[in-house]
């Protein structure tokens, strides 16, 4: 079957999904990579596109597919998206007919903190097949095209290069690059085909060689690579930010008929930011030979190039990767 596999990537135009598609397209054992996304770029409109909440469109895209990588997600940092909508996209995929393998359900950091939100990993299909899945958990992801990095970059420039931060200095978290998060999906999907009994039902945490586990230090290093004037400012106490969130919510409720202020940080996200999420593991390496594809230096350089281009109003630099 090598050379005949058809893969489908949900959210294939997104932050992580786009990189997954790029890396899958370089694998000679894959015949076709399909993109399924509700917001399609011009160059992928000829491929399968649609809303993952529409079962008919999804089932049509699944015809002839052996492997699905589910990276479609709604990320709500400012409490503006109804929970039902997030659940429907992030974990609410329902299949009556589908492929035999469905690896790499990519979750956000918030989902990693609540394992009750993870879908079942061995599901029976109405057509008699078995849906085997594994899950990849990625902590706070950095890299080129990370919207939060661009926002922080512009904010720091408006403050003469000062970058304030919320995390207490004793908090830690693993901070993988978008390239390595995407890359982990590739061998995971392949080995789920080859060794389904080993990978099915497993959860894998993504890791790489980021220089620090302090989120504010990693952000400062990434931004300063694009602009050396960016420097760490002061720590903003959690209680102060909590009060600001409550004040903003109150003002929004009172003035909403006349004024719609810009969405603000949510309390759940604040709780996530000030909490450590750190781990030590080599499970992905042992189970399917995962090794980071991009070093910290490469990720930092690529991010800096993208930030400079984005800040200058230019298109992001070409990644120079071979595509089928």
- Is the Cβ–Cβ distance between 224 and 230 less than 8 Å? yes
The interaxial angle of helices 178-194 and 17-24, nearest 10 deg, is 50
Nearest to 68 by CA among 155, 139, 158, 8: 8
Find how far residue 319's CA is from the centre of its chain.
19
What's the domain count of the chain? Answer: 1
pLDDT value of position 80: 67
CATH of the domain at 127: 3.40.50.720
Residues 6 or more apart whose CB falls under 8 angstroms from that of 93 comprise 10, 52, 58, 70, 119
Does residue 272 form part of some domain? Answer: no
Q: Give me the domain span that covers residue 291.
A: 5-145+175-210+277-299
Does residue 194 form part of some domain? Answer: yes
pTM, 2 dp: 0.83
pLDDT value of position 30: 93
- Is the Cβ–Cβ distance between 211 and 174 less than 8 Å? no
Positive or negative, the CA dihedral 266, 179, 309, 223 is positive
pLDDT value of position 44: 54
Does residue 53 form part of some domain? Answer: yes
Does residue 222 form part of some domain? Answer: no
pLDDT value of position 115: 36
Does residue 270 form part of some domain? Answer: no
How does 288-315 read in b/e, with b if 16+ C-beta sit within 10 Å? bebebbbebeebbebbbbbbbebeeeee
pLDDT tens-digit profile, the chain (324 residues) = 566 789 999 888 889 999 999 999 999 999 999 998 887 665 555 555 677 677 777 788 888 888 889 887 766 666 666 666 666 666 555 554 455 555 444 544 444 433 333 333 344 455 556 778 888 988 889 999 998 899 899 999 999 999 999 999 999 999 999 999 999 999 999 998 889 899 988 999 999 988 899 999 999 999 999 999 999 999 999 999 999 999 988 888 888 777 777 767 888 889 989 999 888 999 999 999 999 999 999 999 999 999 988 877 544 444 333 333
Does residue 92 form part of some domain? Answer: yes
pLDDT value of position 169: 92
Does residue 17 form part of some domain? Answer: yes
Nearest to 293 by CA among 12, 24, 11, 14: 24
Helix (H, G, I), strand (E, B) or coil at 228: coil
Does residue 155 form part of some domain? Answer: no
């Amino acid at each position: 079957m090598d050379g005949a596999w058809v893969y489908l990537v949900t959210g294939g135009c997104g932050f992580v999904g786009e990189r997954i598609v790029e890396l899958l397209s370089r694998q000679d054992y894959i015949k076709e990579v399909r993109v399924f996304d509700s917001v399609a770029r011009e160059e992928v409109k000829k491929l399968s596109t649609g809303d993952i909440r529409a079962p008919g469109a999804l089932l049509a895209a699944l015809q002839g597919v052996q492997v699905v990588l589910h990276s479609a997600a709604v990320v709500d940092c400012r409490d503006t998206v109804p929970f039902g909508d997030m659940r429907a996209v992030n974990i609410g995929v329902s299949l009556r007919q589908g492929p035999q393998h469905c690896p790499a359900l990519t979750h956000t950091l918030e989902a990693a903190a609540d394992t009750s939100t993870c879908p079942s990993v061995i599901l029976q299909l109405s057509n008699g097949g078995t849906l085997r899945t594994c899950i990849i958990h990625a902590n706070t992801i950095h890299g080129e095209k990370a919207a939060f990095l661009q926002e922080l970059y512009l904010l720091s420039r408006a403050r003469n290069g000062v970058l304030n931060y919320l995390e207490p200095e004793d908090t830690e978290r693993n901070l993988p690059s978008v390239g390595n998060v995407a890359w982990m999906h590739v061998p995971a999907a392949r080995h789920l085909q080859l060794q389904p009994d080993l990978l099915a039902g497993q959860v894998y945490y993504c890791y790489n060689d980021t220089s620090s586990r302090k989120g504010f230090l990693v952000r400062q290093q990434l931004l300063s690579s694009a602009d050396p004037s960016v420097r760490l400012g002061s720590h903003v106490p959690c209680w102060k930010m909590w009060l600001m969130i409550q004040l903003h919510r109150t003002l929004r409720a009172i003035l909403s008929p006349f004024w719609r202020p810009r969405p603000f940080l949510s309390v759940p996200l604040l709780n996530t930011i000030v909490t450590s999420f750190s781990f030590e593991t080599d499970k992905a390496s042992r189970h399917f030979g995962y090794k980071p594809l991009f070093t910290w230096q490469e990720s930092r350089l690529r991010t800096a190039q993208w930030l400079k281009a984005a800040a200058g109003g230019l298109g992001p630099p070409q990644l120079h990767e071979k595509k089928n």
